[in-house]
Structure 1
Amino acid sequence: MYKCCIFDLDGTLVNSIYAIQRSVNLSLEKWGMRQVSVDECRVFVGDGYKKLLERALEACGDSKLEHYGEAVNLYPEIFKGCCMYRVKAYDGIMELLDFLKENHIKTAVLSNKPHPRTLDNVEGVFGKGRFDLVYGEREDKGIRKKPSPDGVWALMEELGVDREEVLYLGDTNTDMRTGKNAQVDTVGVTWGFRDREELEAFNPELIADHPVDVVRYIKDVNGIE
């Protein structure tokens, strides 16, 4: 029986691709580089902003990453002002969260996004208190970024749940590896930033095309009418 759902943020709970694209492009403007597309950003994201910038710089011609150090310092300030740009919950997410609450299933968010910006997105879209716990990147506290299982295990300990009681949901190969590394059941969602083929390669317990698929799956596992 599932007693807790842990959600990735970007591409799973919220569509934040336009905020990310805008922040990357405003950063690249400093060196007169071309603008990156939404489709490019969908591939660049998932492993934290430093890896995002590395991929964007390489794609725009900075193969030696000469601007990487400066970009890493510049991006967080730009992103602070852009992190809510056109960000919204995916269709069906509110209903899924309502279902979980009604059935006393705990909810948490685990993102590789900087922790303050994770809070900005979650509270800006869902309000305060919608989730039991919300965590962004916390490597300064010794918790490694996804796909390390550290974040999932830390949330499990705080929420008082065991591995067999947890369902982890995400939209990228990083998320699928996170779930597998944490040894928890995993759901790949196709409404986010990556395609079904990428998710299926990891054989998650469920591939969901809409949040209602997650509701049906949990009802079946937990024996909810």
Structure 2
Amino acid sequence: MEFVLTDENDERFLKLVLELDRGYYERIGDELAKYDEYNEFKTPHVVLLALDSNCPIACASYRTFNENSVEFKRVYVKKDYRKRGVAYGLIKQLEKLVIRDNFRYSYIVTGKNNHAAIELYKKLDYQLIDNFDEFADDEAVVCMKKEFKSKKLAIFDFDGTLLDSVHDVVDCFNKTLTKYGFRNLTREEFLKYLGGNIDEIVSLILEEKSTPENIKMVKDTYLNMYYSSDKEKSVPFPKSHEILRYLQDRGVILAINSNRFNDSIDTFLLRFFTDIEFISRMGHDFDYPSKPDPYGVHEIIKKAGVSLDEAIYIGDSSTDIKTARNAGIDCVIVKWGYGNEDDWNDDYVLEAIDDFDEIIKYF
């Protein structure tokens, strides 16, 4: 199944809407006519279709309700595809656009007896409110509302997000590989192996020669060489320090979640980020699981005292996306790191950004 973004003029969407209205007519008959004007597409709608083998099987849309709110409308899933989480997925995908465009609230109007839909919206954190506007005296419908809270906690990946460190890492790895007669790697080849902890990275680099003995030998030599090197090529990405300072000055809680060892993170924090206060830095530690396990994120959230929907993960790779997904928090991906287009286009990602300034709107 894939999601396709379109608008209210898409014929595939209009056919699904006809099916939706046909179902309503079977249930409430001529009463449906009194909602005709409300259901007309008088203003532009953002529409999301769900396709199965290129066949439209579900839809959802929203329109701008006022300057800081949207209204979700025309949510429909074909009968054979219901109870599979399709409607939930559609609305979650549309909510990413709502958050990205800095709307704070969303509204939904649905039938009072549409119990399945009401339960779905409650699962998505919508609350029942007093009926509004033309529905104020309409006992056949209910109105619901959701607030998109500003984020209070920013959890940053380190390498590839805040720090450009790959050049020193590749240099030390290649010196180690040369010492033991293994093939050297280009920067591009090495980037494919990033994301896991040091043992996982070494295992991938060694490929068919990955044995416990070789992994330990290469890892130990690499770490000794890396820790003793000056790491002069490792520097913050442009605006890394500026955005951290900006968020800190505005009361945003900052943290780091990385698969780099904690003492190594601390070396660079002391070198480049001495005036930034991180509530926690959860790096690689043998006493707890590495990313993409959500352990580190959950520990950070617990220490910060915020809810899941008040936290956001900022990273650069598929490992960061998996970490955020496993933790149940939103995720933004930066394009200047070590990820690729598949990561930027991942359905879970709120947005893939080209400039650090683009995350300000989430706080």
Q: Sort the TM-score into its range (normalised by shorter chain).
A: 0.7 to 0.9
Which residue in the other structure is 2:331 paired with?
Answer: 186
Relative to structure 1, the CA distance from residue 138 to residue 83 in structure 2 (aligned partners, 3 Å threshold; closer, same or farther) is farther
Give CA deviations for 1:109-138 in whole Å, capped at 9, x if unaligned: 111011111211222221265423222112
Give me the whole-angstrom Cα distance separating, in 1, the residues matched to 2:251 and 2:359. Answer: 15
1:4 aligns with 2:153: yes
| 1:65-80 pair list within 5 angstroms | 67-80=214-227
1:133 aligns with 2:274: no
Give CA deviations for 1:145-172 in whole Å, capped at 9, x if unaligned: 0000000000111121211110101111
Gaps in structure 1 of 5+ consecutive residues: none
Q: Is the 8 A contact 1:146 1:174 kept in 2?
A: yes
1:145 aligns with 2:285: no
TM-score, normalization: structure 1?
A: 0.88
Relative to structure 1, the CA distance from residue 123 to residue 202 in structure 2 (aligned partners, 3 Å threshold; closer, same or farther) is farther
Gaps in structure 2 of 5+ consecutive residues: 1-149
Q: Is the 8 A contact 2:152 2:252 kept in 1?
A: yes
More strand by proportion, 1 or 2? 2
Which residue in the other structure is 1:13 paired with?
Answer: 162
**Superposed displacement of residue 196, structure 1:** 2.7
Give me the whole-angstrom Cα distance separating, in 2, the residues matched to 1:89 and 1:187. Answer: 18
Q: Is the 8 A contact 2:317 2:333 kept in 1?
A: yes
Give me the whole-angstrom Cα distance separating, in 2, the residues matched to 1:94 and 1:53. Answer: 30
Give me the whole-angstrom Cα distance separating, in 2, the residues matched to 1:83 and 1:148. Answer: 31
Give me the whole-angstrom Cα distance separating, in 1, the residues matched to 2:322 and 2:270. Answer: 27
Which residue in the other structure is 1:203 paired with?
Answer: 348
Which residue in the other structure is 2:249 paired with?
Answer: 102
**Superposed displacement of residue 33, structure 1:** 2.5
More helix by proportion, 1 or 2? 1
Q: Is the 8 A contact 2:297 2:327 kept in 1?
A: yes
| 1:35-184 pair list within 5 angstroms | 35-58=184-207, 62=209, 67-82=214-229, 84-127=231-274, 129-140=276-287, 143-184=288-329
Relative to structure 1, the CA distance from residue 177 to residue 36 in structure 2 (aligned partners, 3 Å threshold; closer, same or farther) is same
Relative to structure 1, the CA distance from residue 107 to residue 154 in structure 2 (aligned partners, 3 Å threshold; closer, same or farther) is same
Paired positions, count: 214
Give me the whole-angstrom Cα distance separating, in 2, the residues matched to 1:51 and 1:175. Answer: 15
Structural RMSD (CA):
1.9
> Which structure would you say has the larger Rg?
2
Higher relative contact order (CA 8 A, sep 6+): 1
Q: Is the 8 A contact 2:156 2:162 kept in 1?
A: yes
| Identity score, percent | 25
Give me the whole-angstrom Cα distance separating, in 2, the residues matched to 1:181 and 1:66. Answer: 32
**Superposed displacement of residue 85, structure 1:** 3.4
Q: Is the 8 A contact 1:20 1:83 kept in 2?
A: no
Q: Is the 8 A contact 1:5 1:105 kept in 2?
A: yes
**Superposed displacement of residue 214, structure 1:** 1.0
**Superposed displacement of residue 51, structure 1:** 1.4
